[in-house]
Amino acid sequence: MQVVDQLRKGLAVERSEAGFRRTIAGWILVILNTLAALNSTFFFLLLLKSGVAGWLMMNSCAPSVYLFVMGFLIASPLVMVAASVPMAWYGTGGLFVFGWEGYNLIPQIGHILMTLAVIYVLLRVIRARAWRTMVLGLALGLAILIPFTIVQNRWFGAHPEMLEMLFSGDWALPGP
């Protein structure tokens, strides 16, 4: 029983989290990131017909953004920090991995928006001095990211042509 009580206390909402307020900048980032994630989801699921598994593996940014948006809408800095971990890995990391020409410009805009969202979350949590939220959110984010990345690496190992297509930006859309 002590373990359960300690866990409850550890996950208790900090005073600063209870007073979380949505800002205009946050709303703008939520709207722009949602539009970018919906665009990429549409592209992978409907145009490339990648299926849900292919979408998750090739478009890891969108689920990360959806988690950030959910955290913002329910006013949970903990969820927003957790979402920032994969957003930083896939979004900010994508700025350095993907090219900056042709079709790659579209996802790069999304990566910039994700990076801005990560900065927004970090600034909000640091200004509120919500250190417990920061630590728990980072731990939760890593608990999501690490196993997902292992599965993703195995999936790309089985589909190397998809990895090449993803990074080349040379999208061959299926015919009618």
CA pair distance 155, 54, nearest whole angstrom = 9
Give the model confidence (pLDDT) of 72-125 as tens digits: 999 999 999 999 999 999 999 999 998 898 888 999 999 999 999 999 999 999
Other C-beta atoms closer than 10 Å to the C-beta of 26 total 17
Give the model confidence (pLDDT) of 139-164 as tens digits: 999 999 999 999 999 999 998 888 77
DSSP one-letter string for 110-130: HHHHHHHHHHHHHHHHHHTT-
What angle separates helix 160-168 from helix 131-158, to the nearest 10 degrees?
120
**Which DSSP symbol is given to 83?**
H
Kindly give the residue spans of alpha helices, DSSP state H, lying in 44-159. 51-58, 61-73, 77-86, 93-97, 105-127, 131-158
Q: What confidence category does residue 1 fall into, taking pLDDT thresholds of 50, 70 and 90?
A: low
Q: Which amino acid is at 131?
A: W
Per the listing, tokens 């949505």 go with 22
